[in-house]
Every structure is written in C-alpha cells, then in structure tokens.
Structure 1
Amino acid sequence: MDQQQYPSSSSCRADRKTIEKNRRNQMKALYSELNSLLPHHQHSREVTSLPDQIDAAVNYIKKLQTNLEKLRAKKDRHMGVERITNNRNGAYGSGPNGSPQIEIREIGSALDVVLITGLDFQFMFEGAIRLLLEEGADIVNASFSVVEDTIFHTIHSKIEECAPGTVAARISDRLRKFVNEASSTAF
C-alpha cells in the first residue's frame, strides 16, 4: 500500500495564518484609505478606534447626501423647475393629469418664463413667444429641452423700462390665461 502524501497539519495551519494575516492587512489598508478621505481637524492628534472611524465615515456620507439634496433643490428653485412626482416613474413632469406648468420670474427689466409641458403641448412654446412679442417684450433667448415625455421651455426676455412691474404683471396674467385655456381645451 502506497503512502499518499498529505500536507501536514502544521503547514495547513501556517497557510491559514498567512491568508488571515493578508486579509487583516488588506482590511487595515482599506480602513486607512477610508479614514484618509474624511475631513479631519488639523489640531486633533488623538487616535480614534476603528468603529469610531467607520461611524465618522457613515455620518460624513449621510451629511454629504443631505447637502447634495439641498443643493439640487436650490438649483431647481433657481432654474424655476419643480420636481413633480405624480408621474408613474417619478421623473420630471408636467402638472397633475399632464397639464402644463408655467413659472414667470421678473428680475428688473428681465422676464423669464419656464414652461413645462408634455409632448402634446409643443404648440404652447410658440404661443408664449408670440404673446411676449405682442406685449412688446424683446426675446433675448428661447430654448427647450426634452426629458423622456416632458418638454422644458425657457424664454428669457426684456420688457419696457418705463413700468416693468405693470408690464410684467399684465404679461404674466396673459401667459397664465393662455396656458390654462390651452390645457383645458386639450382635455
């Protein structure tokens, strides 16, 4: 009967120890890298435990996520866009039942119009521009973007210097009336 050579139990134990040592070293390097990405106080020299470092990383990531959401909301407010979630997929969209939305901002003699519509209301962009021109506004820039089944129309215009508030109010009323009438006749 031939004797087969089996690795001795001491060599298996040594291999497992080596594997475990390598795993611990790799984990230590990863924790160190994670800790290096966290903001540290320059004057703090105290050593923090590994669980405390991980807690700090979790809290820092949560803080970054909160800040990111706040910045996105602020950007949307400045762009005149609201996030609407009544769509099935929660994407940007027009108002309830697909009705168009309009936001008008007056900044000095500038009048910015943001019109959010579905694909069925493409004619509204041209109608809004025509209305602005009828009221004597100068169109500085007009553009649109399509995201899935939603169109974001943006019109930047200048209005008369003599009474911008009065003109802007009149234009706003006409634009809102135009959007309401156009959306009610479409349904």
Structure 2
Amino acid sequence: MKKRNSESSKLDRKTVERNRRIHMKDLCFKLASLLPPHLFKPSKDMLSQQDQLELAASYIKQLRERVEGLRRVKEEQAVTKTRTSSSVMTSMMIGLRLPVVELRDFGSTIEVVLISGLNKNFMFYEVINVLSEEGAEVVSACYSTVGDKVFHTIHAQVRISRVGVETSRVCERLQDLIC
C-alpha cells in the first residue's frame, strides 16, 4: 500500500510540474505576442524563452524610461504654463504698455504669445509669415479676447532641427511688426 501511495504522489508531482511548465510556456508566449514585431530580428520561433524574456524586460525598461521622460516634459510644461499665466496676469495688473510679445523656445518648438489692444490692427498672417521665414512651421494658433485685450497664442515647430530658429531675431521682427 505504501508503494502505491508513493507512486501516486510521484505521478501527481509529475503532473503538477508538467502543468506548471505548460502554464509558464503559455504565459511566455502571451508576453512575446505583446511585444512589437520590430523588436524581433529573427523570427519568434528562433528565440529561446530566455531571450524572449530578456527582450520583454528590456522593452519594458525602455517604455518606463520613456514614460518618465514624458512625465518630466509634461511637468516642465505645466510649470512654464503656470509661470506664463501668472506673468500675463501680473503684466495686466501692472498695466504694461501694449502690445506685448513673448516668445518661448522649447528646443524644437516655439510658443509665441502676443497681447494687443482691440484698437491695434495687425495682420495675423504677417506674424505667421515671420515665423515661416525664420524656419518655423506653425502647428496651431488661437486667440481670445478678454476685456479690451486680445491674446494670440501660436505654437510653431522648427522645420530643420539642426539649423533651429534664432528666437531673438524672430522676437525682434515681431516687435517691429506689431509695434
């Protein structure tokens, strides 16, 4: 009777171990199927499970670093936006002379904020032409009117990142155009 119990427990252990291995193999296959295909130079069948796991781990690390980088950029932009709103509000309270031209360089993107009075007429397309001539492509532009002030916000992207845009020259040209 003891012999049968030990044989039965060995079979149970073998079955449990086989089921565990099948389950792990299935999980590894599911993990590999979640990875983008461009990560696999040879076909998936040629990679061992260990290679697939290492590839998945490095991909997850890359994604984590990318998320952290994007989170930092988002926080920096939020801080800049907060500073911008407070500086705009402060300048309105102090009563700075209009028009106001603010230009922020974020490397490959530029943000232009123009504040003018309702009675100051300038052609908006001329502002866009200045940016275009200086090597920036306008991505978005909007305006809003608050009281007797008009706020224009323009986001532009540098066309050739190696060359860039000389922001001081752009700011000077915009000042000449608007003032």
Provide TM-score, normalisation by structure 2.
Answer: 0.47
Provide TM-score, normalisation by structure 1.
Answer: 0.45
| Between structures 1 and 2, the one with greater helix share | 2
